[in-house]
Amino acid sequence: MKSHLRTFFLVLLGLSVLAALGALFWQTFQFARAWPGGAEFARRWMAARAFLYGNGDPYAQEVAAAAQTLLTGTSEFQIAPRVNEPFYLLFFYFPFASSAHYPLARALWMTLAWGGVVAMTFLALSLTTWRPRRGFLGLFLLFGLLWPHNLRAVIEGSNVIWQAVLLGLGLLALRAESDELAGAFFLLAAFRFTATLPFFLTLLIWLVSHRRWQVFAGAGMTLTILLGVSLIFRNDWVLPWLRAVYYNWRSLEWWTVRGVLTAWWPAIGQKVGWGVQAAAWLVMLVEWALMRRRPFRHFLWTAALSLALAPLLGLPTRLENEVLLFLPLTISLSMFDERWKEQGRWAILLLSIVLLAGSWFWFGAVHNAWFSPRAFFFPLPLATVAGLYWARWWAVRTPVALVERYGWLED
């Protein structure tokens, strides 16, 4: 009798989940029809269709112009960004490219992207020692779904959400000592280098100091398979891809520390920018030296810092890259629970509300032209770095109680 009852509830749960996904897809489809957009997804969808049905070059300027025409109705006198990911990453867009109806394809992508936001939230929590109760878990999940950077990435169709998911999966596999699997995840996440280069340098230093060579073996095997398959489909994609990367690098507007500060203070912006970059690199070099041969917990904090400091190091960045700062934010918030338990949970709730309200105010202020878009450059990275350093002592040490509870904290 109990087994039949359990089966009934499982079937009911499954049907409820399917109904919820169906409702989400339908609402997303209505949104995609009423509000054209999703430039990031449109370029990759058009590139995948050009290859599948036009036998065309997915990195060609004509494909980028066609995507721009789809969204704006014109391709004249505008810079059309090209797809600049390796060809094997376009494989993930082939199922969406099978539909010629762009709103339908975009709605499918957005529905999956919401799932990616949920996965990113749970992965960020799994990488910390924070185990919130169901009520707080639901509120934190809502925080992740309503976080404006995540919401913007879903609407624009940015793949940065999936990059964050892959980085989280790689870190979880690394913590579990599934090194080959970690290498595969990190290899798949190895794009958008202007935002992730400091992270991968941090990873490289830690792996070498711990002699975790199997991670490199896993990444190498995955790259060999992906390159082999992609060269079977199209054996001349490497040079067009490199040209697309160079074109975007030269033609698109990138944010840098010196560029933003010079726009604000033409007289001294360059010098102040060089000073900020030098200070950020000094901090990063010191933390890299302190991280070597330290446990995973210390590495995780340094990896989070590398994501937060990336814009301040002088590397070109764009607004969508700030989705990657969700993990550092989660680590900072988790320290309240570790240090103060019940009182800490209320502090987390209060800070989450402040962060969410502040971010939406900032987006609204830029949208209403109260500030220029460059106003986004400093607040979140600086707040994240401050939060990480506030939590540093607790984040990098391994208390005895935590060692007993979480054996993975010590190597």
- 381: phi then psi, degrees, rounded to nearest 5: -60, -45
Compute the distance between CA of residue 29 and CA of residue 110 in angstroms, rounded to an integer. 9
By C-alpha distance, which of 41, 38, 36 is closest to 73?
Answer: 36
Place of tokens 């507007």: 253
Task: Show the tokens assigned to 218.
Answer: 């896993």
Query: Which residues of the chain register pLDDT less than 70?
Result: 1-5, 8-9, 13, 55, 73-79, 338, 341-344, 397-411
Chain centre to alpha carbon of residue 54: 31
Burial class (CB in 10 A: 0-12, 13-18, 19+), 34: exposed
Task: Show the tokens assigned to 49.
Answer: 């269709």
What length is written for the chain? Answer: 411
Per-residue three-class SS string for 238-252? HHHHHHHHHHHHHHC
Helices then strands, counting H and E runs in the chain, come out as 19, 0
By C-alpha distance, which of 160, 190, 194, 140 is closest to 44?
Answer: 160
Crossing angle (nearest 10°) for helices 160-175 and 326-367? 160
Place of tokens 């203070």: 265
Compute the distance between CA of residue 223 and CA of residue 174 in angstroms, rounded to an integer. 18
Compute the distance between CA of residue 295 and CA of residue 303 in angstroms, rounded to an integer. 13
Tell me what pLDDT residue 55 has. Answer: 67
Instruction: Please tell me the number of Cα atoms within 13 Å of 31 on its side-chain side.
Output: 17
Tell me what pLDDT residue 208 has. Answer: 95
Tell me what pLDDT residue 368 has. Answer: 76
